[in-house]
Chains A and B, each alone.
Chain A
């Protein structure tokens, strides 16, 4: 039994006009033609040796100036920041709090919030779906995100939202994939991701066993709510769900319990390396990210989380990355990790499947080839930190 949810969201903010504009090309991939000119914007790279709010803020301010346009982007706008806090209850791993290894560090988040507030953002909503069912402020606190710190820095304009369900909103919105989708034609999500002017992806610099790298684009994997896409929400919608999206968006053995059937049946059962990159691209087409910030100061190599246990280890790139186009930004970040962002499928770092960056470029979403990237700030050769490759599944 499907719930009744709005399939045509009531658009009230400029971002939705942008979504509608891009939706003009909402044809099935078969009939869809990628733009002749692939979008290309600068990506800023910087080294940063420690988690220290004021230092990070100074660095990011310079980076935002280098890439240009951030002030204008957020002035008088509602901003949603999809922060990478991951669907895991683990807080300590290898003796370190999880912001040192797996999730975006709160000092980076505070610096971003403070800068966007200074630039005139009207409201800043931090979102992710977290595997907890309490008050969102308490849920975020488990990752050392304390609302009072953010409120102080933004004059009370910050909101935390756990988007595992519809949350403080009365309903879900359905966001369509402009080109019709590779594996999903639309996504039914918490309205924080649609009823906003600006979407920011604030994430961690990591490798990913299925996606090769997990950066700004992969961060959107946390947008589809557990209530319909989670392990405990697939048989029927469940507003209390907190589960992970393994069955729906990794193994692809189950369809989500959305109000309309949006999965196209083009996934390959149990082939994460095929499915995950395509879901990443479809998500990024449906939810265009206008600013990506990547925390690469302290992280892990080889795979994406502490739950991979013996396969991962702590590493210290001491990097920050920021850019406007998510494909360009992720490609520059992948290169800073020592990888070829245009590497063929099934070669490192995309050892287990498809290169989602190339896929995104072929769909006209942004440039991923290093020779065509515009990198500003510190030179790539100087900041590069060579990651270990992802292992073969």
Chain B
């Protein structure tokens, strides 16, 4: 186990990269000020992603996809049929932006001008929405999405052709993650005779799924958080009835007294950061030697997770429109009040600025 976890240098998909750690290699100013607001076409509820040069890509629920220069100038705007909840993903060269809609289409857009390279429809029995944040695999040049057909799809990045599909279970909203070898990790909930089971499985790009570990439940509620991968090992979070469990490994579970809808994040020193539906937060060392409660005042619940910078400063926006900052040493402080809800995790640009999408249709930029 490494002592220090290094975050992503370029935040190209939800959680920063395919390991979904929510950790950046950049440092945000400790007291960032609101620099500007980037205007989207509707409520912005998915994470922004960036090219290595700092081009900002923001999608919204009205179906708008926007590309902005690092200085905030609009480069292009594309309106797709169907709103967008799943965070887009950018390829390693910053050339193709992959976007999925609530109408079940996956689009590969030319990142320089927004024009369609290919688009494809993911079959759905009843509900075409794609809500799982997209995953892009560099080596395999593939995109992974899942839909309410309860199926996940691995699409060829160059053509959109289907490479492989498999069962995503009854909560296909949960995004996929990968380890450094691009082995896929997913979470699947299945009905069983006496209840249900939430399992973490891994899959090669064209092979059979393999059980990593499972957790039997009597009553299950919505699952949201993708596996986060640390040292190539998955850590999963599951919701059961009104409680949640963090499974560090098959035999090690930490039970929480509340549900969690926000994705997990990790700090550089390996603490898991959990934003809870009771409006509080907690941080857990992986060996459970240190569990810290994070007290937020007047937060009803958390929908978005935390973004963590290279110094370990944590940032998260709440549904009341308040952006918070805290660290290992410092209790939460209010950075900004926008007036409308933050429902997703902020992301950190390659030049160390913080981008917080907001339900009011703007992305708030702090530097």
Interface residues of A (CB under 8 A from B): 47, 49-51, 92-96, 100, 298, 302, 309-311, 313-318, 338, 382, 384-389, 391-393
Contact B300 A100 (CB under 8 A): yes
Contacts of B127 in A (CB 8 A): 311, 391-392
In the bound assembly, the distance between CA atoms of A385 and B358 in angstroms comes to: 10
Contact B170 A95 (CB under 8 A): no
Is B250 on the interface with A (CB-CB < 8 A)? no
Contacts of B222 in A (CB 8 A): 94, 309-310, 313
Contact A49 B221 (CB under 8 A): no
- List 4 A-B pairs, minimum CB-CB distance, nearest first: A95-B259, A95-B277, A391-B127, A386-B61
Query: Which B residue's beta carbon lies closest to that of A101?
Result: B301
- Mask of B329-348 contacts with A, CB within 8 angstroms, 1/0: 00000000001110100000
Known pairs A50-B298, A310-B170. 17 more at Cβ < 8 A?
A49-B321, A49-B341, A92-B242, A93-B221, A95-B261, A95-B276, A96-B277, A96-B301, A298-B319, A313-B173, A313-B222, A317-B359, A385-B359, A386-B43, A387-B61, A391-B126, A392-B128
Is B49 on the interface with A (CB-CB < 8 A)? no
Q: Is the interface of A mostly helix, strand, loop or mixed?
A: loop
Min Cβ gap B237→A in Å is 13
Q: A94-B221, A316-B303, A384-B361 are in contact. Are A47 and B61 (CB under 8 A)?
A: no
Contacts of A318 in B (CB 8 A): 319-321, 340-341, 359
- Mask of B252-287 contacts with A, CB within 8 angstroms, 1/0: 000000111100000000000000111000000000
Is B47 on the interface with A (CB-CB < 8 A)? no
Is B129 on the interface with A (CB-CB < 8 A)? yes
Contact B148 A95 (CB under 8 A): no
Interface centre among B129, B277, B319, B360 (most CB of A within 10 A): B319
Is B60 on the interface with A (CB-CB < 8 A)? yes
Q: Is the interface of B mostly helix, strand, loop or mixed?
A: loop
In the bound assembly, the distance between CA atoms of A49 and B321 in angstroms comes to: 7
Contacts of B343 in A (CB 8 A): 315-316
Contact A338 B339 (CB under 8 A): no
Contact B126 A94 (CB under 8 A): no
Interface residues of B (CB under 8 A from A): 42-43, 60-62, 83, 85, 102, 126-129, 148, 170-171, 173, 221-222, 224, 239, 242, 244, 258-261, 276-278, 298, 300-301, 303, 319-321, 339-341, 343, 359-361
Contact B341 A393 (CB under 8 A): no
Contact B60 A386 (CB under 8 A): yes
In the bound assembly, the distance between CA atoms of A390 and B221 in angstroms comes to: 20
In the bound assembly, the distance between CA atoms of A49 and B338 in angstroms comes to: 10
In the bound assembly, the distance between CA atoms of A299 and B343 in angstroms comes to: 13
Q: A95-B276, A298-B300, A311-B127 are in contact. Are A388 and B102 (CB under 8 A)?
A: yes
Min Cβ gap A150→B in Å is 22
In the bound assembly, the distance between CA atoms of A93 and B260 in angstroms comes to: 12
Min Cβ gap A337→B in Å is 10
Q: A314-B261, A384-B42, A385-B43 are in contact. Are A51 and B341 (CB under 8 A)?
A: no
Residue pairs across A and B with Cβ atoms less than 8 A apart, 5 shown, are A95-B239, A311-B148, A317-B341, A338-B61, A386-B43
Contacts of B244 in A (CB 8 A): 95
Contact B126 A393 (CB under 8 A): yes
Q: A94-B261, A95-B277, A386-B43 are in contact. Are A47 and B339 (CB under 8 A)?
A: yes
Contacts of B303 in A (CB 8 A): 314-316
The residue that B340 contacts in the complex, of A47, A94, A95, A388, with Cβ under 8 A, is A47
